[in-house]
Amino acid sequence: MFTGIVEELGSVISRDGSRLRIGASTVLEGAGIGDSTAVNGCCLTIVAFDAAAGWWDADVSDETYARTVLGTLEAGDPVNLERPVRLEDRLGGHLVQGHVDAVGEIIDGVPDLRVRVPRQLMRYIVEKGSITVDGVSLTVVIPDEDSFTVAVIPHTAAVTTLGSKGPGSLVNLEVDVMAKYTEKLLAGQLAALAQSVPPRPQEAQ
């Protein structure tokens, strides 16, 4: 579980088939094999690392490459990095799983960032709600039929990849998992309620 507060701006060192090597320093403090780290909002597992040399490796499945923008990364590309939240940490953003829901497209860059979203996700995006864009926890300003806007402060633009991405750039999106759970729970309740309501008697002719 993550918070969407980026700890470090790392960079891609290499990509060799499924193996992705990331250059980093902060997120390697206390790291171990099998630990999770979010890369542009996508949860990956550390399979090898060298803290002194400043790199770590992850094996990325074809499914992950296909459903995220990780497959477009090249050597030298910057990436947002975050270690999993600890129970004693402050929750500065919101609860982020690192499970990318879809890929969005930037329409307008920062500071008034507008992102186009697959329409099936728009029902989870509400004014003043939370959304994760490339691993960055942001607050929705205006949602419309197929996009949303967020106000990105200069600090966030400077310490994440969002400041360097313009119109046409693709980004990983994760909606608030609480919205998805709420929808599922309500769907079950409404279905049960519908089944419990007795049929109305036919009106007299």
Average pLDDT over every residue of 96-107: 97
Q: What is the pLDDT of residue 53?
A: 98
- Quick one: pLDDT band at residue 203, thresholds 50, 70, 90? low
Q: What is the pLDDT of residue 142?
A: 97
Instruction: Give me the residue label for tokens 């633009």.
Output: 157
Q: What is the pTM of this model?
A: 0.89
Measured between alpha carbons, how far is 109 from 106 in angstroms, rounded to an integer?
Answer: 7
Paired sense of beta strands 130-133 and 136-143, if any: antiparallel
Q: What is the pLDDT of residue 74?
A: 96
Residue 1 confidence (pLDDT) above 80: yes
Q: What share of the chain is helix, strand, coil (3-state, %, to 5)?
A: 25, 35, 40
Measured between alpha carbons, how far is 202 from 199 in angstroms, rounded to an integer?
Answer: 9
Give domain limits for the chain: 8-82, 102-189
- CATH class in words for 8-82: mainly beta
Is-same-fold flag (8-82; 102-189)? yes
pLDDT tens-digit map of 4-46: 999 999 999 999 999 999 999 999 999 999 999 999 999 999 9
Q: The domain 102-189: what is its CATH number?
A: 2.40.30.20
